[in-house]
Amino acid sequence: MAGSSKVEQTINKKIDWIDVYRGLAIILVVVGHATGKFNMIIYQFHMAAFFMISGYTSKLEQKSFTSVFIEKFFALVVPYFGVSSIGIIFVKVLARLGYYDRLFPKEYLLDIKSMFICLFRGELYVQFLGAMWFLIALFGAFIVQKIVIDILKVFIKKYVIIRMAISLLLYLAAYYFIRNGIRIRLLFIDLDFVLLAQLFICLGDCSRRLVAVWDQADNRRIFCAFIYLCVGIYILYYFGFVKWNGIDYPSRYFHEPFIDLLCQVNGSIVLYFFSRIICSVSKLIKNALIYVGGHTQGIIFFHFLFFKFVFVIFNYLGIMSNEEVIGAVPTQEIGNKYWLIISATSIVGSLVLFYFFSKVPVLRFLSGLSRNKYKAISAKVENLLGKK
């Protein structure tokens, strides 16, 4: 019994660090949007960290293409369209009531037909849903990686290195497109984002083997972790304050591909070690981050909306002007001074609203939360296709 309990505790610890990691990552995203004060560090790796942890938990090799496609379609594409549609209806109601112009830029307000047409073209005209591009990039990255795996499986038994090489070439192709102003959009999917993200999905997926080895290592791993943290933090410092190497996906702001890769992987590894440390030293912080990390999708959906909520209060208190309220993010002065209030309110508000979505069956389905239903649909489709 004691041995069994110890095994369960070890398994739980391994699960815990994943949600702690996600929690830290989404907090960095929100803080990065709330203020530029820490973006010298945050913008080196924050999106890649999400792609990598998504790859780590994906288990792509163990699933069929049909299963991956259907599950990810419902978990990522359906929320993109579902939540975005709710957002479009919401802003149209605000416009009808006469409040829209006080909160959002006029150029975002099209007629409802045009807004839905643009949505299907990958152009979302809802200011507070500005992070939805991530869902589509992640979906495309999963599909690309699954195709690469399935092709390699036909010809090679041990294909990890070749898979990583192909993923790197696709990543470099994305840089070629961006540098030459080539923008390929397949319906609502931006190919350059997909090709960038798929490398980190690959690295995250392949890193499961390394983490398994690390978990079985002896006490020397503490010393190794300390050494890497020293080196990793220095790399963050160097590319944050000595030679700026920030990365911004939506604006396609990139630098040299291999330096960008170094920064993104390094920051993600540093975040991994901090996640494991938190799991070991503070149960209170660990549990809080686990909850946040288990609801990252809701924070991705709604954190800009609750920025707006704070802006309205600040406007009422005379802290922000009418013009400043219209912006998607706070001005530098406001952000630097009130980033903690803005970030905390945004995260808590997003979690509350997402909880409400989770309790309404239709909203739950549209938000990517009905995972059992998605798996059931996937199983039925595989049955029909004769792939079960």
- 269-300: pLDDT as tens digits: 999 999 999 988 888 999 999 999 999 999 99
Q: Report the pLDDT value the prediction gives residue 218, as an integer from 0 to 100.
A: 66
Q: How far apart are CA 275 and CA 24, in angstroms?
A: 8
Mean pLDDT of the chain: 89
Q: Report the pLDDT value the prediction gives residue 4, as an integer from 0 to 100.
A: 45
Residues 6+ apart with CB under 8 A from 182: 176, 192
Mean pLDDT of 308-327: 94
Q: Report the pLDDT value the prediction gives residue 46, as an integer from 0 to 100.
A: 92
186 DSSP β-pair partners: 189
What secondary structure letter does DSSP report for 321? -
Q: Report the pLDDT value the prediction gives residue 387, as an integer from 0 to 100.
A: 52
Of 356, 178, 176, nearest to 252 (Cα)?
178
Residue with tokens 């990890």: 160
> Letter for the amino acid at 288?
A
Q: Report the pLDDT value the prediction gives residue 378, as an integer from 0 to 100.
A: 72
Q: Report the pLDDT value the prediction gives residue 211, as an integer from 0 to 100.
A: 79
Q: Collapse the DSSP code of 35 into the 3-class scheme (helix H, G, I; strand E, B; otherwise coil) and give the result.
A: coil
Q: Report the pLDDT value the prediction gives residue 130, as an integer from 0 to 100.
A: 83
Distance between first and last Cα of the chain:
37
Q: Report the pLDDT value the prediction gives residue 105, as an integer from 0 to 100.
A: 87
Q: Report the pLDDT value the prediction gives residue 379, as an integer from 0 to 100.
A: 75
What secondary structure letter does DSSP report for 1? -
Residues 130 and 184: beta-carbon distance below 8 Å: no
Q: Collapse the DSSP code of 217 into the 3-class scheme (helix H, G, I; strand E, B; otherwise coil) and give the result.
A: coil
Mean pLDDT of 334-362: 94
Share in percent of the chain as helix, strand, coil (round to 5): 80, 0, 20
Q: Collapse the DSSP code of 244 into the 3-class scheme (helix H, G, I; strand E, B; otherwise coil) and give the result.
A: coil
pLDDT band at 209 (very low <50, low <70, confident <90, very high): confident
Angular region, 246: left φ>0, alpha ψ -120 to 50, beta rest: beta
Least confident of 67-76, 176-185, 212-221, 351-360: 212-221
| Residue 34 Cα distances to 308, 340, 368, angstroms | 11, 8, 26
For CA atoms 371, 376, 381, 385, the dihedral sign is positive
Q: Report the pLDDT value the prediction gives residue 265, as an integer from 0 to 100.
A: 96
Residue with tokens 């923008």: 183
Q: Report the pLDDT value the prediction gives residue 219, as an integer from 0 to 100.
A: 66
Identify the residue with better confidence: 198 or 376.
Answer: 198
Of 42, 53, 54, 51, nearest to 263 (Cα)?
42
Q: Is the pLDDT of residue 201 over 90?
A: yes
Q: Report the pLDDT value the prediction gives residue 8, as an integer from 0 to 100.
A: 44
Q: How far apart are CA 136 and CA 120, in angstroms?
A: 11
Q: Report the pLDDT value the prediction gives residue 112, as an integer from 0 to 100.
A: 87
Dig out the tokens for 190 from the structure: 């931006």
Q: Report the pLDDT value the prediction gives residue 341, as an integer from 0 to 100.
A: 96
Residues 213 and 139: beta-carbon distance below 8 Å: no
CB neighbourhood size of 74 (10 A): 22
Q: Report the pLDDT value the prediction gives residue 110, as an integer from 0 to 100.
A: 84
Residue with tokens 């070890």: 10
The percent of residues in the chain predicted with pLDDT above 70, rounded, is: 95
Q: Report the pLDDT value the prediction gives residue 256, as an integer from 0 to 100.
A: 94
pLDDT band at 325 (very low <50, low <70, confident <90, very high): very high
| Residue 139 Cα distances to 143, 191, 198, angstroms | 6, 11, 9
Q: Report the pLDDT value the prediction gives residue 290, as an integer from 0 to 100.
A: 94
pLDDT band at 9 (very low <50, low <70, confident <90, very high): very low
Q: Is the pLDDT of residue 375 over 80?
A: no
Of 239, 163, 174, nearest to 207 (Cα)?
163
Residues 232 and 178: beta-carbon distance below 8 Å: no
Q: Is the pLDDT of residue 268 over 50?
A: yes
Length in residues, the chain: 388
Residues 303 and 33: beta-carbon distance below 8 Å: yes
Least confident of 26-30, 141-145, 185-189, 376-380: 376-380
Residues 6+ apart with CB under 8 A from 230: none
Q: Report the pLDDT value the prediction gives residue 217, as an integer from 0 to 100.
A: 64
Q: Collapse the DSSP code of 189 into the 3-class scheme (helix H, G, I; strand E, B; otherwise coil) and give the result.
A: strand
185 DSSP β-pair partners: 190
Task: Print burial letters for 252-272: b (CB count within 10 Å at least 16), e (below 16).
Answer: bebeebeebbbbbbbbbbbbb
Dig out the tokens for 134 from the structure: 């991530």
Could you read off the pLDDT of 22-35 as tens digits, one per residue? 999 999 999 999 99
Mean pLDDT of 305-327: 94
Q: Report the pLDDT value the prediction gives residue 14, as an integer from 0 to 100.
A: 57
Q: Is the pLDDT of residue 388 over 70?
A: no
Q: Report the pLDDT value the prediction gives residue 16, as an integer from 0 to 100.
A: 85
Q: What predicted TM-score, i.e. pTM, was given to this entire model?
A: 0.90
pLDDT band at 174 (very low <50, low <70, confident <90, very high): very high
